[in-house]
Structure 1
């Protein structure tokens, strides 16, 4: 989140109205409801984890053991188990 000067982006009338309630302070204006992006959508983390988990499930279905998958993907035994046995 970055700082933006209100007098640069807001119309003068709106700025004067806001100044009736608060002036000389920082104020946070949240995004409208329904416009918030879900976790990992901007950075690509969500897609990366989905691809990794799909690769883990595919390797397991082709005969790799959970121990082998732990070594290959640098994850714990329990993490691999959760991924392999999840219904996705």
Structure 2
């Protein structure tokens, strides 16, 4: 989220109308619901984490201990447990 000066993006008439309600304050104008994207959709983080979690689950099924997985992936033992025991 970035800050933008209203007078650079809004028509003068609209700016004056908004000033009837708010002056000198910061307001947040949300995106329309149709423009929302799920977490990680743009960056690929969600796919990357899903791939990592699949590798962790596979390693666990192959007999790698939870403590070793925690060290390998730099995660806590509790986080590894959540990953390997999730469906």
Work out whether the TM-score is over 0.5. yes
Which category of TM-score, normalised to the shorter sequence, fits these structures? 0.7 to 0.9
Q: Which moved more, 1:4-13 or 1:71-80?
A: 71-80
Alignment partner, residue 41 of structure 1: 41
Q: Which runs of 5+ in 1 are unaligned?
A: none
Deviations 1:21-48 (A, max 9, x none): 2223322212223433333334433222
Q: CA RMSD in A?
A: 2.1
The equivalences for 1:17-56 within 5 A come to: 17-56=17-56
Alignment partner, residue 2 of structure 2: 2
Q: TM-score, normalised by structure 1?
A: 0.74
SS at 1:72 equivalent? helix
Distance 1:67 1:57 in 2: 13
Which structure dedicates a bigger proportion of its chain to helix? 2
Q: TM-score, normalised by structure 2?
A: 0.75
Alignment partner, residue 74 of structure 2: 74
Q: Which runs of 5+ in 2 are unaligned?
A: none
